[in-house]
Amino acid sequence: MRADGGLRGWLSAPTTALGKLAWVLVIAVAAALSLAVMFLLLSAGLNLFDSLQMQARAGR
Amino acid sequence: MLTSIQQQIGLAVFAAVLIAAFAVGRRDERLGAAIVTVSALATMVHPYWEPWLDLRLGGLAIDGLTLAALAWLVAVSKLRWPLFATAFVLLLVLLHLVALASPPALRITYLDASVALSYGALAALAVGTWAAWRSRRLA
């Protein structure tokens, strides 16, 4: 916690071990969620591409 | 090794960021670059030990040691980028642990996620190096 205290001070520069650990965990959770969403979108896109390709083949 | 264009581009990006970190970075960027260099070299070499060392256990050991080194850097540094690099490597270690318990069907996702997380840690180092270069330029 910075000497000036408050949420803003804490967010700008974590100086205690607990503050740093909290930052690392929050970033890790955010990165994990972002990766999960990215993989889900990628998977949905690939599935859509496959089904469109199958429809095109069936229509031929 | 390095047979595809993606791997060659990846190596070039890694090398560029590490050279920049050593050249224009502060003490913390140089320490981070040294940790990433050792980790990347060990990751490239460790498949050759496979008859003696399980590939996933080797990856877990390397990234576990990298996490320990980055956690030390977080403890001694006042900068913010090591927090991001450590978070990405923490996820990488968790991913190794999940992969050890998961069926081989997850292998492709595991590799893709490993590469994405490695680039996340590298991006954190790159941002730190850019900030060091900018503050030196403005000083």
Give the residue from B28, B73, B83 with the most A CB atoms within 10 Å of its CB, the best one to mutate.
Answer: B83
CB distance B71 to B103 below 8 Å? no
Rounded to 10 deg, the angle between the B107-138 and B81-101 helix axes is: 170
Can you tell me the ipTM of this complex? 0.77
In chain A, residues with a C-beta closer than 8 Å to the C-beta of B108 are none
Where b means 16+ CB within 10 Å and e means fewer, A31-58 reads: bbeebeeeeeeeeeeeeeeeeeeeeeee
- Nearest-Cα distance to chain A for B53, in Å, is 28
pTM across the whole model: 0.80
* Residue in chain B lying closest to A16 (CA): B75
In chain B, residues with a C-beta closer than 8 Å to the C-beta of A14 are 83
Quick one: how far is CA A44 from the chain centroid? 17
Instruction: Give domain limits for chain B.
Output: 5-138
Tens-binned pLDDT, residue by residue, of chain B (139 aa) = 567 888 888 889 999 999 999 999 999 999 999 999 999 999 888 877 766 667 778 888 999 999 999 999 999 998 999 999 999 999 999 988 888 877 665 666 777 788 888 999 999 999 999 999 988 888 7
